[in-house]
Amino acid sequence: MLVPPEMLAAQSKLVYQMNKYYGERVASRKAQIAKTIHEVCRIVQDVLKEVELQEPRFISSLTDYNGRFDGLEVVSPHEFEIIIYLNQMGVLNFVDDGSLPGCAVLKLSDGRKRSMSLWVEFITASGYLSARKIRSRFQTLVAQACDKCSYRDCVKMIAETTEVKLRIRERYVVQITPAFKCAGLWPRSAAHWPLPTIPWPHPNIVAEVKTEGFDLLSKECLTLQGKNSAMEGDAWVLSFFEAENRLLQGGCRRKCLSILKTIRDRHLELPGNPVTCYHMKTLLLYECEKHPREPEWDEAALGDRINGIFLQLISSLQCRRCPHYFLPHVDLFKGKSPTAMENAAKQVWRLTREMLTNSRAFEKL
């Protein structure tokens, strides 16, 4: 197919603009975050070392691999989540019957005695390992550790929450979440994935993702609040962090995500936090399904993919619904205020219109 020269010129101009944006704005964001991570993790490691001395079952899994930390997620440039992987899930069964959207429970296997579990005192009378009880114990230990550790002058526990959250140097917030890794398992609530009608991802990658499994996190679950208070405290939140990252390898997908996060931090940090980096990541995964062929993820197509994701974002904000990629019955906008979403939709539309109509838009973004 012959493409008019002016279209080719406009496309190469856009590619140049985006590469410049990536080399300047995105690189600057990444460098700043890398510096922050280094500082924050040094302090958290010190706190966790203190926790481990008091309670050896909470062993810190926060390890530095040349500046990359396993289990660390950047929520925003000032907010981070660190996953601490707990040991010995062995005598517990993973139960995912669909009654707890976005969550599952861990139940003592039939015939197993409570005393066989490493976490004996956190198992309820009905035989469930309570996520909230474990978190409550961990919270107490972290609070004590903050008072004892060598960084006690610059780290404080955030009160009025059941989550384990630290404020560091009055600038950063770090949530530390106890979790179990579920390798070789795949939850029933995500059994529909991948959709048989869509040729992405490749079957080999699907097999890899399902073997890698998912995580169960001990944190507040928005989808359960007010639904089933009896089970709410025992439930563990399903997380597919590693699976999502694996799917975004190849082509310019990671680059696309970095650009989306940078635009979000610079222009969509709005009251009520209606648009998060996780919403961007989720919509990018849906865009991968809409464009399953690898050539559609070449550098030359990056502008089209970003515009496509922004149009999806406008539609999601207007419909007030953003389904989780693996668990579509879970709405990632739950708990967000309608006004905040409406304001965000207007702002996203302004940005999208600028990107669609102005070939030099990225100079201003």
CA dist 184 to 208, 237, 328, Å? 10, 18, 22
- Helix axis angle, 27-54 to 253-267, nearest 10°: 90
3-state secondary structure of 9: helix
The pLDDT value recorded for residue 197 is: 94
Cβ distance 76 to 35 under 8 Å? Answer: no
Better-scored residue on pLDDT, 125 or 283 = 283
Tens-digit pLDDT profile for residues 299-328: 999 999 999 999 999 999 999 999 999 999
For residue 159, give the 3-state DSSP assignment: coil
Contacts of 237 (CB under 8 A, 6+ apart): 102, 103, 131, 216, 217, 218, 219, 221
Q: Are 310 and 245 in contact (CB under 8 A)?
A: no
The mean per-residue pLDDT over the stretch 321-336 comes to 96
Contact 329, 189 (CB under 8 A): yes
Q: What is the mean pLDDT of residues 45-60?
A: 94
Res. 232 pLDDT band, cuts 50 70 90: confident
Query: Given a cut of 60, is residue 111 above it in pLDDT?
Result: yes
Q: Tell me how far apart the alpha carbons of residues 229 and 218 are, in angstroms, rounded to a whole number.
A: 15
Which tokens go with 207?
Answer: 């097999």
CA-wise closest residue to 163 among 184, 146, 147, 142: 142
Residue 174 phi, psi (nearest 5):
-125, 125
The mean pLDDT of 262-267, rounded to a whole number, is 97
pLDDT higher than 60, residue 7 = no
Residues 6+ apart with CB under 8 A from 260: 277, 280, 281, 284, 306, 309
Flag whether pLDDT at 9 surpasses 70: no
| C-alpha dist (Å) from residue 313 to 3, 77, 245, 259 | 30, 21, 20, 15
